Each structure stands twice: as structure tokens, then as C-alpha cells.
Homo-oligomer: A and B are copies of this chain.
Amino acid sequence: MLELRHLRTLTALHETGSVSRAAKRVHLTQSALSHQIKALQVHYGLPIIQRRGQSIELTEAGKRLVSLSGKVLEEIQTAERDLARISQQTSGSLRIALECHTCFDWLMPIMDAFRQHWPEVELDLVSGFHSDPIKLLEEGGADVVIGSERERRRGIVHHPLFRFEILAVLAPEHALRGKRILQAADFTDVTLITYPVPEERIDLIRKVLKPAGIHPQRRTAELTIAILQLVASQRGIAALPSWGIKSYVDHDYVVARRIGASGLWSDLYASTLKETASRPYLRDFLITARNACFATLEGIVPLA
């Protein structure tokens, strides 16, 4: 018999186009999903997915179920928001401090949706840079910090968002374009174009260049698009999340290269005080954020 678990699987399947990726998304094994799919197909006497070589494709029946799933899961979320409202603790503030510049891109639409769902909650972005953002939480200057730290600290909870890859971005005519993978040494004589944040905040420098003793020149820009313009016009190399540059790469405005053999990856967490973590609107924010990210950002991977 059909259960919500199946619907959740279906959407994951639809969004990832692969059983194993979908499995990661719903925190199960590939085998579990395979069995689920099998059961559904037997139950309805219809194929739900179809192997397309390496990946899979949803059949007509599968797509119909995905559309069902979309509606149903959304209705459930709305209902659960109402339940949260019934149980009170529904008003409060959600001031978000962003450690990661590019996160603006995906955060905006989520914030818009959130404002609609939780009109009673005061939603804000905390601007400016903060050397110790976690301290902000403790001092009450913010309610959530979105960043990549996961330092264990009592009273603080780090909610995993996702893992993403940071790629080097070069002009299509750049001398290094021939290399499939860039190593630390390749950055010796280049100018690095970054957001205007301290060095410790830039993963490429902290995790790759500094350990290798390399200190390239830096030039900063506020906006992602500005950074890409500088890159395209040969002023230097940038290191940006794969999902932030996809459309530019697809249009050959710039090219992207992996950094190091297994790539440079970064994990994103939403950190809150323990007490904030239990607030229903915060939980809803996290669920929505994760869903939206997995639905829109390509190439990201779920975290434990």
C-alpha cells in the first residue's frame, strides 16, 4: 500500500535522476530505494522508472506519482505549520547571519517563502562581518548562523545543510585551462579574486594554499557577477561553489576546474542555540531550506 515514504522517495528520485543519489537524499541505502520502487511497481502493475544507461528516467506513471507527491507533501507541510501554530511558540525572531557570501543566491527565495508562511516571525539578515559568528548567537545578536564551522560548543547545535564543491573559475582563454585539475602550485603566480572577507574565511586559502605555503595576490569584489566579470576579463582566478557558477560555465562565459584530486569540498551548517533549535518555525525553516537547495542547486550532497 502506498505510503508517504514512497512519495518522498519519488520526489528525490525525480530531483536527482538516480537511485543512489536519491537514496543519499532521503538517508537510506540504494538498495532500500530499489526495493521500494519494486514494491510500487508490483502494487500498481506498472513500471515507475526506466533505466537510461547510467542513470534512470521516470515513466509516465512515475511522473504522475511525482506530481501527486508534490501536492501532498506541500499540503502536509502547511498542515504541520498550522499544528505548530496551534502549539504556540509561534512568534519570535529569525535573524540570519551569513558566513558564506554566495549563500545569498539561494537564501533569498527561501526567505520570501518563509515570510509568507510565518508572518508573525520577525525575519532579518544580520549584516556585516563577524570574526566569531557563533558568539553572535550566544550574545543574542542573531538566531541562526549559516556557515561551515562545526566547532563543538555547549549550548550550540549545528544543523547540517549540505556539502558542495568549490571549483576554480578561469577565463576560457586562461593558460591553465588545459589542466583538468588544478593543484596548489598552480596558484603561485595568479591573482585570486574573492569576496571582501578575511583570508581565514576563504576555503581555498585556508585548506589548500596556506598549507602549501602559497600566498597569491588578492583582489576583491562584492558580488558574484562582479567576480566572474573580473575572471572572464583575465584579471585572475576565483574559487566559487559549483552551483553558483553553473549557468556561466554552461554558456562558456568561464570554465571551471576541480581543485586537488578529490576536489575542494565545503560543508554548510545552520547553527543555532539549543533552545532556538526546538522552535517550530526554525525547524520549518531548516526543512524548507534543505528542500529548496536540493531542488535548485545542482551537484550538492546531503550531510549526515
Given known pairs A64-B86, A86-B61, the reply for A3 and B3 (CB within 8 Å) is: yes
On chain B, the residues within 8 Å of A46 by CB distance are: 83, 86-87
Encoded as 1 (CB less than 8 Å from any B CB) or 0, chain A from 71 to 92 comes to 1100110011011001100000
Size band of the A side of the interface? 20 to 34
Q: Is the interface of A mostly helix, strand, loop or mixed?
A: helix
Stoichiometry, copies per complex: 2
Residue in chain B with minimal CB distance to A82: B64
On chain B, the residues within 8 Å of A61 by CB distance are: 83, 86-87
A-to-B contact residues, CB < 8 Å: 1-5, 44-46, 60-61, 64-65, 67-68, 71-72, 75-76, 79-80, 82-83, 86-87
* Complex A-B: 28 CB contacts under 8 Å: A1-B4, A2-B4, A2-B76, A2-B80, A3-B3, A3-B4, A3-B5, A4-B4, A44-B80, A44-B83, A44-B87, A45-B87, A46-B83, A46-B87, A60-B86, A61-B83, A61-B87, A64-B86, A65-B79, A65-B83, A67-B79, A68-B75, A68-B76, A68-B79, A71-B75, A72-B72, A72-B75, A72-B76
